[in-house]
Amino acid sequence: MSVLPDVSMTAYMTLAARAGDAGLKKPLIHDRRAVELLSRLRLLLKGDVVGIEALRIPVALRRYIVLRADRYDRYSRDFLSMHPDGLVVSLGSGFDTRCFRVGIPLSSYIELDLPELVELKRRVTHDWPKYRMIGRSVIDPGWIEEVRSEQPRHVLFLAEGLFMYLPENEVKTLIRRLSGAFRSSSLVFEVVHRRYTRGMWKRLVDGMIHHVMGNVNSSSYESGIESSSDIESWAEGIRVEEEWCYLQDPRLRPRALQLLQYIDYFARVQWTIVASLNR
């Protein structure tokens, strides 16, 4: 029986991308904890990750993952700078190391992921400084009450590479619950355009994912939107404050790719929305 849950294979690949970047002469982010965590997972899992170890993460994908992580780091820093008493909650956190990378106070950070993944992460980080981890599905409303029990005045919810893998009705329900439970807070989440969740485009994307992941089980895009403004009709109190896609990052190479940020068809393939909750 595999120690690594199927649902965490993508999380493992994301960790490997950050660790790979850390090993470069000029890394985009300096995630030394990712290197250590990856090494520990390899020792623990051994034969369970043969499928992933056999793949080679494309340079473009690794760069995308790292640029996205860096951007979400920035959102975290900016939020805590504005709200020193705030709470950062990472949804579907996987094998993230943001708390240490950003220097978030341990009492100001919570990670949420499936119980089996949280248990695995606890095992391999048993001697690291402790912050709170909640082992629940993001669609389980029970975790919201656990976060509310902390009585935070301001909360930043991060959903990095998560919502597109959930059915649309579950994403809408989650956002309604967050809007109903928290005030003066923010939600930062990644989305894909709806065209990539159906028909020919979905089959193309699924094929590309399979090409990267090989025979390793991987997720498929389940939901998307046409425009960021769509989400404002999902719940009262939610408002789009900012949009970002990796094409806007000046470190993107080749530089010519940055020009695509001005063409919506490319800039709105997969992007991040920053939304306020009852502000």
Instruction: State how many domains the chain has.
Output: 1
In a domain, 245, yes or no: yes
The pLDDT of residue 46 is above 90: no
What pLDDT is attached to residue 44? 85
CA 79 to CA 85: how far, in whole Å? 10
Render pLDDT for 164-185 as a digit per residue (tens, 0 to 9).
999 999 999 999 999 999 999 9
Tell me the residue range of the domain where 241 lies. Answer: 6-277
CA 223 to CA 192: how far, in whole Å? 8
Number of CB atoms found within 10 A of residue 146's CB? 14
CA angle 248, 21, 90 (to 5 degrees): 70
Q: Indicate the pLDDT class of residue 48, thresholds 50, 70 and 90.
A: low
CA 183 to CA 78: how far, in whole Å? 18
CATH of the domain at 111: 3.40.50.150
In a domain, 93, yes or no: yes
Render pLDDT for 172-228 as a digit per residue (tens, 0 to 9).
999 999 999 999 999 999 999 999 999 898 888 778 776 666 555 567 899 999 999
What pLDDT is attached to residue 10? 83
In a domain, 128, yes or no: yes
In a domain, 1, yes or no: no
In a domain, 271, yes or no: yes
In a domain, 124, yes or no: yes
In a domain, 159, yes or no: yes
The closest alpha carbon to 86, from 66, 67, 104, belongs to: 104
Q: Indicate the pLDDT class of residue 50, thresholds 50, 70 and 90.
A: very low
The pTM of this model reads: 0.94
CA 231 to CA 190: how far, in whole Å? 12
